[in-house]
């Protein structure tokens, strides 16, 4: 399971996996939205100068 939560400046991504005994184990990482955009540009998924829209889903 992957959850993405955030506020105006940052996102928290959590990845959970069910263990053999029914519990969950995982990791969580926080990244600012600007860092995410910069990484997407570095990886070639976005071009510098492109407009990015972040939509909040309830």
Q: What is the span of the domain harbouring residue 38? A: 2-42
The answer as to whether 36 is a domain residue is: yes
pLDDT confidence of residue 21: 94
pLDDT for 8:
83
3-state secondary structure the chain: CEEEEECCCEEEEEEEEECCCCCEEEEEEEEEHHHHHHHHHHCCCCCCCCCCCCCCCC
Q: Rounded to two decimals, what is the model's pTM?
A: 0.62
* 57, part of any domain: no
Q: What is the pLDDT of residues 26-47, one digit of tens each?
A: 999 999 989 988 998 999 998 9
In this prediction, residues 50-55 reach a mean pLDDT of 80
30 belongs to a structural domain: yes
């Amino acid at each position: 399971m992957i959850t993405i939560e955030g506020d105006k400046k940052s996102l928290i991504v959590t990845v959970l996996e069910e263990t053999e005994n029914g519990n969950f184990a995982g990791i969580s990482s926080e990244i600012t939205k600007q860092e995410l955009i910069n990484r997407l540009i570095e990886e070639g998924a976005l071009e510098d100068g492109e407009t990015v829209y972040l939509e909040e889903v309830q």
